[in-house]
Structure 1
Amino acid sequence: MYFGAGAAPLLGAAAAWNDIAVELSTAASAIESVITRLSSDQWLGTGRRGTAVAGLVELHR
């Protein structure tokens, strides 16, 4: 109980997972922003809907 690395490795792993979560959240926000723009009337074109749907699929994967 009193030997070993202690809590440091666990705290390090938790910090690394937190960094990954922040990166994923940032990416999801960026994708959501693109999908919102693609779903609006700002981009008029035949590929608009397909591109937005493909982005939604990636976002919810």
Structure 2
Amino acid sequence: MNLPRSAFYYRATSSGAGPTDAEMTALIEDIQDEFLASQLAAVVQSEHTVVAARRGTNVVTLTG
């Protein structure tokens, strides 16, 4: 790309068009909640798969 290294740095602007601290906090919390929910679902599914396998059920797991 032939750009100087400093071209890759983020430069904040003071135009006031960006989100407020409260909006950013809410956005980060929403992302974190979504991530944690997906992680919890994966753990629960994994635990159910283990229990079903222990009971002799033929378990097929799909990933992707």
When the two structures are superposed, what TM-score results if normalisation uses the length of structure 2? 0.54
CA distance in 2: counterparts of 1:42 and 1:13, whole angstroms: 40
Note the residue ranges of structure 2 that are not aligned, 5 or more in a row: 1-18, 59-64
Point out the structure with the larger helix share.
1
Q: Which runs of 5+ in 1 are unaligned?
A: 44-61
Q: Which amino acid aligns with 1:28?
A: V
Match of 2:49 in 1: 34
Greater C-alpha Rg = 2
TM normalised by structure 1 equals 0.56
Kindly state the Cα deviation for residue 6 of structure 1 after the two structures are TM-superposed.
Answer: 2.9
After superposition, residues 13-32 of structure 1 pair within 5 angstroms as: 13-32=28-47
Per the TM alignment, residue 41 of structure 1 is displaced from its structure 2 partner at its CA by 3.1
Higher relative contact order structure (alpha carbons within 8 Å, sequence separation ≥ 6): 1
Identity %: 8
In structure 2, C-alpha distance between the alignment counterparts of 1:19 and 1:25, rounded to whole Å: 10
